[in-house]
Amino acid sequence: MRQENRKQMISLREETRKQIDTLKEDNRKQLETLREENNKQFINLHQEITEVKIITAKIEGTIQSQAVLTPKIPDLIEKVGELKNWKQIAIVAITAFTSATITWFIRGGNRQFKNETHQPQELTEKGSSGTV
């Protein structure tokens, strides 16, 4: 009876060791899986942070470029306030529009058609000599 108990104890120990080893291996696999997932999440977070930094830099650049214009706003408001009536405002607006239009014509107008000629090309029977 004692020998049977010993055999049972030994077999139980072996089974317990196998179960412990199996649990250890499962824990290692789960730990490795979690590490891989965490690494992927850290990589994704790093990419998102980089994108946010780029966007922030663009916004800061825009703010800095517009910061130069901000001090000029009170001067412009003061100049508009100096105009005593709407006639003066209309005269200034018409003058600005006229000068802009003249400048536009002097610079060549709409440059989209600069290299194109708008003369129709007629084909003659004799070719490109131009005589009929």
DSSP string, 10-56: HHHHHHHHHHHHHHHHHHHHHHHHHHHHHHHHHHHHHHHHHHHHHHH
Q: Residue 114 corresponds to which amino acid? A: K
Inter-residue contact 97 to 89 (CB < 8 Å):
no
Supply the range of the domain harboring residue 77: 71-109
Task: Please tell me whether residues 64 and 21 are part of one structural domain.
Answer: yes
Query: 130: Cβ–Cβ under 8 A, 6 or more apart, which residues?
Result: 124
Same domain? For 100 and 45 the reply is no
Q: Report pTM.
A: 0.42
39 and 15 in one domain?
A: yes
Mean pLDDT across 128-132: 50
- At 81-128, the pLDDT tens digits run 766 677 777 888 899 999 989 988 888 766 555 555 555 455 444 555
> Are 55 and 6 part of one and the same domain?
yes
